[in-house]
Chains A and B, each alone.
Chain A
């Protein structure tokens, strides 16, 4: 310690801190919460406050949604890193991976799964700048890290991606601003952050989280910032999204080609491939037998699904007793497409990355995992055969002796050889596969230490993967048959034949079915009704003897009946329903099936051609005869509410009693019951048996039950009333989920997969058939492979009606019959929509163009998606498209096999003969048949005279008679307004972007204009379509002539006034005027005065004009000056802008960044 005095505190004299202090100076500091301050002052206010609180509570509530993702062992959360190129995505990904797994990846590609906590795993995936990838990632990401270059601002891709997210269900988004270190000035930085945050908030929601990452250190972002980000990620909660909650899906983190090499070779790599994809099941349960869609590839059939051991398991309760995740578990990372530990899995090979020269010997150099693996492979000193011979495999745990391999019997040795060999056997032995399998095998090592020589490896990856016992391919058919060998013989045969099948627990009960047949004679007639016909002769005399006993036996169903394993009988046996019901021997059918290729048709196999597909079985009169017996009738009394306690076991307490007497009893009881509540109905009745203790016990039990019921109802009345709709719905959901979990908990894995499919969270391997070879040939790990499960409805095609709105940032209108690329459901495809609007709920009227700022309907042919599924549409997916690429968004409304869209059509014709209100019209139709079709249709002239088509005329063809409400003119055009129904073109073109070698270069159907432009063709010109000058002869109207007769009859007011002008001069015109001298003088004076005045006005006007011109000149001068100044200013601005852009371009070149599109 040095004894220098500490520096004294110097309060800030300026700056924000000083201002803050200044502001707070006047106020007194408050300590603690002042209750009085927030108490309502009036009752009115208290009321209002209460209301507000309640309302606020309601806004908190969301529609209860079932979360199909299991709470225990959920699949990893998918975190997508999205942003334009050069923004720092890979750096962030590497930083995050290093933060979690303490490993530096050189080549981070494809999904990277790591364990982030005791209950959470994360899958990171980087999204490249291709729109196709953005669409696919947007559909599966749970959390999006949206990266924005802070020094540049938002780019078009960011907004496009956000709009894609919006239409497919919005996952959580965290914004991340990078390159903030490029902004040097603190105030600019502050302003930039503020502006970007504001824009980001308007786009997502107010208060959305935005992170700031400063510069890069050692190729990573600063550790503290990454740690903060990882903390945010770890506490993030996810609400289930509707689409993902109803579809199974998978983000493939590994892909392999299983096609036989020979086939690939012979077809020169052009054959359809068999491909396996690996990944965690997400969403809902994945079922074998449904189709899957890989966006960018197409619909594919799953031929096989296998549950594999989790490559990146969560710490289990036993392994991890601590509160925190241990460091060892943290190292777990699963990223087959990246280069973890120097090993990279390619589509058909495993690459081991070795630094420097690859020699054995130098053991002092730390070896990567892959390197070590290769070394160890070289260490193998024995062949596989030797190893197998040496191995000590025991069939059972209790077996005293290990199995010996008999070299002569090949088939046996196969079944016991380890997995690697099996792979080779089945012709799947690509090197990568072998590797992966041996890796899976490795996972066992944690539990069972093996001889190192046997595995052929001295060391193993630091990664440990535990392997559930029931998983992987250990249950291949041959082994399975062996494991069942303790069952009956036919059983074994059967299962061997059926191959990989289900076994349900409880094999102890699993007796031979034939045994039923042996006992048929003795018991249960109702079980096999068919037999009864045959047995009739015997059973008739029999049935009357000791009926009561048999009834008793029947009801409690004899103890000898063997229980059938229905699941196996129905689903895995090939027995016909009849054989199952009658309990036919399985072995018999097996034998016949096995022995001969040709079979003699047995009687049972042929359908009874007259057997009806009837709803009800005919009533069997014989079996009803037992009900003639009183005892038999009494025996089912307990099945009625009045029948007393009787549960199934003690059914016959009332045997001895007289039925009539009992009836009375019951009646009395009923009356009592009316007073009491329902539950007391099953009251103990005074029976003749069981007096004393047991009765007292029963009574006590009954009382306790009643008391409990009472307590439930009365003690806590709030418990029932408290539950509102919301919590009720939530309770129901949790209850159902608990049932879902409980119901199949005991069933073994394979049977479970058969019944409920593969649950979310399981790591599976899906084998896909007939995959286009281009997918493998042009595989690129930086493009995500999403495997989306399809619902049965979604495999179909039809006309999809959607509500669509052109995006307001897309700057062109959309035209009917122009192809559009839709992203709907899992799919991306091009189709041709027809836009329409609802015309007064009468018809769907076609629109040529989408309306501005308004929704309209669109109908297109394509794969069906459920109503209420959102979609977005693009005109072009290419990266070089200028402007905003999302051209429309919308939602699916309806699905049908036909579309009802009409467009208006006007048929025109001209009158060629006109009577009073009737006219003959030609040129509208060409045949009389057409006219007949339109009889009675409304027609109209251009001037608005309405009419009707009456009947076709014999000549000329297509002419008809029509009546109008007034006389039409010969020059009138008559038209008929009709509706013509149109169907959208059946065009569907999936966007197969993953099949291309250049994945962003997909181009679909081009527009006609585009094709012409590309091909250099001229637009064909129709001569009739050219515009010509319209020659309109001046119209001559004839004079109106009112007939004399009519004129005479008209009232005076309406009569045409037909007076001729007067020809003779009137007296006033004719006479001459002579003035007096005074009058003359006065007139002259007046004339002079007028002349003077006129002159004055003229002069004044002249002067004004002069002044006006002067002023105009002045104004003009001023304007010229002003415009000069403006020009100068503009020049300045442009110069500055030009410099800026030049600087930017320079900077980009320097930073190696790609093209930017500034918004």
Chain B
């Protein structure tokens, strides 16, 4: 009979998503315990349960065991199935929370994914649908995942009511390409989306105006779209947000986002987003720190060649992710300063030898 797969053990509720993703990709069983065991409200939250359900639907043969108290889970991953899927996300987290792991898994599924998620499209914690569409997905293109990769925002849903809907379509690949991305280039264009639901449509123009007052000095190639959803498509709650992204000559993308707050003028929201973008630009690197995990994962999964990427210092999540990667894939990164003679350079070059991960789920012919 089947030999027991090596079980990997973790504690704590942090980094749940990346651990689940790594487990499913590597096929190793994972056990996570002490999930908020000291908390007044112990165990998994509703959105985490919902995520587990989504992953169970997205795969075939996955066995998830949750302890009675909900403070421990055991995941025995199956094969990534893909295909058409619908999921109702709870309003405690935005769609971005659920879509991020799916984006990491979908290229390695058996069938091209076509997933409809319903819930909140923009909130303050997770990637909004706009960032996922304009920034996260282009990151996958670096790895040769581009044909048919799309995120459609069918309805928008602001906090707290939600009512948004996005459709995520992703092709499957046999193997991701190796990247060698060390030149951040210089910013060549700036794009933005100012969306408004269930409030005065003029708000979007006010945000754009404020943003342009700063950005106009840099480059002329700036397009900020105002995206107004009305009626049925605008979800259940009012809200607005400005999403900005700056693209460099080597297609490094920096992004920022500011969403509506009570009692704050739309101009201030616009300025906040713009300044956040400028500080992102200032940080430099080829990949912003929020996408480090995605890019590093794809580098690990690349062919058995050396992939290199220039990024800023690892974030908290990234550090834990790198450690997790080592326990799942037995591979580690070489992280050195991007410019060794320059002592002030905070940029790092991450290089790793890909594991040669081949999409074993993909059927032949």
Contacts and interface: CB of A to CB of B under 8 A. Distances in A.
Interface of A: 66, 68, 246, 284-285, 287-291, 298-299, 301, 504, 506, 526-527, 555-559, 561, 563, 566-567, 569-571, 577-578, 580-581, 606-607, 609, 611-619, 621, 623-624, 627-628, 633, 636-643, 648, 659-660, 662-663, 666-667, 670, 736-737, 739-740, 743-744, 747, 751, 754-757, 791-793, 795-798, 801, 864, 866-868, 891-898, 986, 988
A891 B125 contact: no
B348 interface: yes
A526 B348 CA distance: 16
B330 A288 contact: yes
B60 A897 contact: yes
Nearest to B352: A755
B330 A289 contact: yes
Given A570-B314, A736-B178, A796-B27, A617 B79 contact: no
B262 interface: no
Nearest to B184: A639
B56 interface: no
Given A287-B331, A563-B337, A641-B249, A557 B279 contact: no
B290 A606 contact: no
A868 B360 CA distance: 10
A613 B343 contact: no
A740 B342 CA distance: 25
A381 B351 CA distance: 54
B188 to A, nearest CB: 5
Contacts of B191: none
B202 interface: no
Given A616-B290, A619-B276, A641 B126 contact: no
Interface of B: 1-3, 5-6, 12-17, 25-28, 36, 38-39, 60-61, 78-79, 93, 96-97, 100, 110, 124-127, 131, 178, 180, 186-188, 214, 216-220, 249, 256-258, 272, 274-276, 278-279, 281-284, 290, 303-306, 308, 313-317, 319-320, 322-323, 326-337, 339-340, 342-346, 348, 351-353, 355-358, 360-365
B216 A663 contact: yes
Given A667-B220, A736-B305, A798-B61, A566 B353 contact: no
Given A567-B335, A614-B126, A284 B282 contact: no
12 contacts: A288-B330, A290-B330, A607-B14, A637-B217, A641-B219, A663-B217, A743-B306, A792-B28, A795-B5, A795-B27, A797-B2, A896-B60
Contacts of A744: 306, 334, 353
Contact of A285 (B100, B131, B345, B353): B353
Nearest to B175: A246
A895 B348 contact: no
Contacts of B13: 607, 609, 613
A633 B274 CA distance: 11
B186 A641 contact: yes
Contacts of B1: 986, 988
Nearest to A682: B186
A895 B361 contact: yes
Contacts of A617: 290, 315
Nearest to B190: A640
Given A571-B322, A739-B180, A896-B60, A643 B344 contact: no
A566 B314 contact: yes
A639 B281 contact: yes
Contacts of B322: 570-571
**Residue of A68, A613, A659, A796 ringed by the most chain B CB atoms within 10 A:** A613
A624 B271 CA distance: 10
A341 B150 CA distance: 69
Given A640-B187, A896-B60, A796 B305 contact: no
Nearest to B343: A559
Contacts of B314: 566, 570
B5 A624 contact: no
Contacts of A614: 97, 125-126
Contact of B276 (A68, A556, A624): A624
Contact of B27 (A288, A609, A737, A793): A793
Contact of B100 (A557, A615, A866, A867): A615
A624 B275 contact: yes
B356 A637 contact: no
B362 A867 contact: yes
B305 A571 contact: no
Nearest to A301: B6
Contacts of B26: 792
A367 B317 CA distance: 66
Contacts of B3: 298-299
B306 A893 contact: no
A642 B249 CA distance: 12
B40 to A, nearest CB: 9
A751 B314 CA distance: 20
Given A577-B319, A581-B316, A740-B305, A642 B79 contact: no
A868 B306 contact: no
B97 to A, nearest CB: 7
Contacts of A897: 60-61, 78-79
A246 B186 contact: no
A1085 B341 CA distance: 142
A-B CB proximity, top 4 nearest: A897-B61, A289-B330, A756-B353, A793-B360
Nearest to B186: A641
A571 B326 contact: yes
Given A609-B13, A609-B36, A639-B282, 18 more contacts: A527-B346, A563-B343, A566-B335, A570-B322, A570-B323, A571-B332, A619-B272, A624-B275, A628-B275, A639-B284, A640-B187, A739-B306, A751-B334, A756-B353, A757-B353, A791-B358, A792-B329, A893-B363
A643 B127 contact: no
A1085 to B, nearest CB: 91
Contact of B344 (A285, A558, A578): A558
Contacts of B362: 867
Given A561-B346, A663-B216, A792 B283 contact: no
Contacts of B315: 577, 581, 617
A640 B218 contact: yes
A893 B364 contact: yes
A633 B278 contact: yes
B256 A619 contact: yes
A181 to B, nearest CB: 49
Contacts of B333: 567, 570, 755
Contact of B351 (A504, A743, A793): A743
B319 A639 contact: no
Contacts of B351: 743
A755 B313 contact: no
Contacts of B303: 66
B345 A581 contact: no
Contacts of A792: 25-28, 328-329, 355, 357
Given A246-B358, A527-B313, A609 B306 contact: no
A755 B125 contact: no
Contacts of B180: 739
Contacts of B353: 285, 740, 744, 755-757
B127 A570 contact: no
B365 A893 contact: yes
B344 A556 contact: yes
**Residue of B3, B124, B272 ringed by the most chain A CB atoms within 10 A:** B3
A288 B332 CA distance: 11
A177 B178 CA distance: 48
Contacts of A561: 343-344, 346
A301 B353 CA distance: 22
Contacts of A740: 305-306, 353
A616 B360 CA distance: 32
Contacts of B317: 577
A659 to B, nearest CB: 5
Contact of A791 (B78, B79, B340, B356): B356
Contact of B282 (A636, A663, A895): A636
A567 B313 contact: no
